[in-house]
Amino acid sequence: MALRRQSVVLAVLLAPVTLFLGVFFLLPLLIIALFSFLSPGLYGGVEWTFYHWNYGRIFGWADGVNEIFEPIYLKILIRSLGFAALTVVLTLILCYPVAFWVSRLSERWRLLFLFLITLPFFCSLIVRLYAWLLILKPTGLLNTILLRAGLVSAPLEILYTPTAVVLGMVYVMVPFMFLPLYVSVDTLDRAQVEASQDLGANRVQTFLKVILPQTLPGIAGGSVIVFIPAVGNFVVPDVLGGAKGLMIGNLVEQQFLSARNWPFGSALSMIIMAVVLAVLMLSVSRARRAGGHA
């Protein structure tokens, strides 16, 4: 009797999430997978026939009759991976020393700076990107300052370039890299660092052999949390990037809202999903391995 009642309570607690995410999360993802193998309808929509040319168009086995292979898609995919990787590296370089610095401050200052780093997370993403639009415009703040100071003779063209896209992504992703890094830097065993120095290791050796291995979980965690939203991003390249800053997310958006080729857009989304799942699986297996050693 008691057992049965427990299962009733459990069922009541779990039913909403199961139904909701089953219908509005899992099902839509399955529909994307399905649509990516259907052929596009003449005026938007789909035709219910098996069609693998959506992928052929991207990866190069299109036969020129059903679809044409356009290397630009592969190029944009590689560019997206590159931008996301660059964002990870740059946020890491920026956040690592600062996480170290914050962890060494007195409690009062530490709490203040931790608050300051989480604050942008509460602030609208589109507002923060818009700020960079104001700064980078040809008539924007940066160029106004540079021109007045006589450092440049003509306005720099940064807006609508890949540089602007990576800069914008670094800016919005910084808090995501900082927090996991900070946790691992803060729990660093300082006695080991001192022991390493006392035993005659120089700073580079201490960093490589003692500090780096101990903060590796934070580096890995932060990298995953930054890479995933970066690779499928469409807002940053939309606001700050031009044609050369287009990413795969922009292609997906175009297929759904202007080109109206849903199967092709679905195929592009499947690639984003595949990249994300690969990264997640890699990080989980890495964490398991690391956990096994500890």
Partner 1 sequence: MRNPAGWAALTAFSLVFFAFIYAPLFVIIGYSFNSNPVNMMIWEHFTFDWYTGLLGLSNRATDVSNRAAYVESTDQMLAALRTSLTVAVITTTISTVIGTATAIALARYRFRLRGIYNGFLMLPMMMPDIVLGIGLLIFFVSIGMKLSMLTIIIGHCTFLTSYVFIIVQARIAGLDPALEEASADLGASEWVTLRKVLLPQLAPGILGGALLAFVISMDDLVITYFVSGTGDTTLPVFIFGMIRRGVKPEINAIATLIILASVVIAAFGLWLRSRKAD
Which residue number, 64 or 139, has a Cβ lying nearer to partner 1? 139
Which residue number, 74 or 131, has a Cβ lying nearer to partner 1? 131
φ, ψ dihedrals at 23, nearest 5°? -80, -45
Restricting to residues 120-159, name those near partner 1 by CB under 8 A.
120-128, 130-135, 137, 139-141, 144
Restricting to residues 227-246, name those near partner 1 by CB under 8 A.
228-229, 231-235, 238-239
Q: How far is the CB of 132 from partner 1 (least distance, A)?
A: 6
Q: How far is the CB of 229 from partner 1 (least distance, A)?
A: 6
The answer to whether 249 touches 237, Cβ cutoff 8 Å, is yes
Q: How far apart are CA 41 and CA 48, in angstroms?
A: 9
Which residue number, 49 or 65, has a Cβ lying nearer to partner 1? 49
DSSP state letters, 95-137: HHHHHHHHHTS-HHHHHHHHHHHHHHHHS-HHHHHHHHHHHHS
The token pair at 159 is 């807006």
Q: How far apart are CA 11 and CA 14, in angstroms?
A: 5
Q: How many residues bind partner 1 (CB under 8 A)?
A: 77
Restricting to residues 150-209, name those near partner 1 by CB under 8 A.
171, 174, 197
Which residue number, 56 or 229, has a Cβ lying nearer to partner 1? 229
Q: Dihedral sign, CA of 98, 217, 220, 269?
A: negative
Restricting to residues 9-38, name those near partner 1 by CB under 8 A.
9-10, 12-14, 16-17, 20-21, 24-25, 27-29, 31-32, 35
253 contacts partner 1 (rule: CB under 8 A): yes
Which residue number, 12 or 65, has a Cβ lying nearer to partner 1? 12
Q: How far apart are CA 132 and CA 142, in angstroms?
A: 10
